[in-house]
Amino acid sequence: MLPNDISIYHEKQSKELCALHALNNLFQSKEAFKQMELDAICFSLSPNNYINPHRSILGLGNYDVNVIIAALQNKGYNAIWFDKRKDPKSLKLDQIFGFVMNIPSECRLGFLWLPLKRRHWISIKNIGGTYFNLDSKLSHPSQIGNESDLLNYFKDQLYINDNQLFIVVSKDNNNWISLDEN
């Protein structure tokens, strides 16, 4: 349950558009990105390919990390892969715009679970002093908690399942991680 004084934009899953939803949830606006814009990025990344390697063959989404990185760069942000061998405590949370994670996701056709392994994009953002998991597959945002809760969440999430974490910072921000390795 969300506190009454916090308003959170949360797009729900549609087609294979989890990357689009993760970006819009990260920017807290349905107008931040459109499917047409992400499709244009795919084309710009591979203009001469009949089958574009950066999205689903059916054109339903399933965008790869290159599309997310380019989309963020178009808005003045960088997505930086976080080396999970590092301690999340090295992150300077007050310098970070938000987070995008790529996690394994089971594939389903109606009520039938398929033995395919897929990937799913989610965003995590500080809203009103509290960190939220804005996964589009959730019925509503899931509260993670304060900074300490977030760091523990990342420790748990990066330890399991081949999850990947990307730090989203403004392009000119190089001060998002502590150089002290204790």
CA distances from 72 to 10, 47, 52, 102, 151 (A): 18, 20, 20, 15, 23
Q: Is the distance from CB of 168 to CB of 97 less than 8 angstroms? A: yes
Q: Distance between CA atoms of 58 and 56, rounded to whole angstroms? A: 5
Which member of 18, 21, 42, 54 is catalytic? 18
**Does 10 qualify as catalytic in the annotation?**
no
98-109/164-170 β-pairing: antiparallel
Question: Rounded to a whole number, what is the distance in angstroms from the first to the last CA of the chain?
Answer: 37
**Does 42 qualify as catalytic in the annotation?**
no
CA dihedral 73, 140, 129, 83 (to 10 degrees): -50
Backbone angles phi, psi at 4, to 5 degrees: -60, -30
Which member of 54, 107, 120, 140 is catalytic? 120
Q: Is the distance from CB of 77 to CB of 171 less than 8 angstroms? A: yes
**Nearest alpha carbon to residue 163 among 119, 102, 118:** 102
Which are the catalytic amino acids? Answer: 18, 120
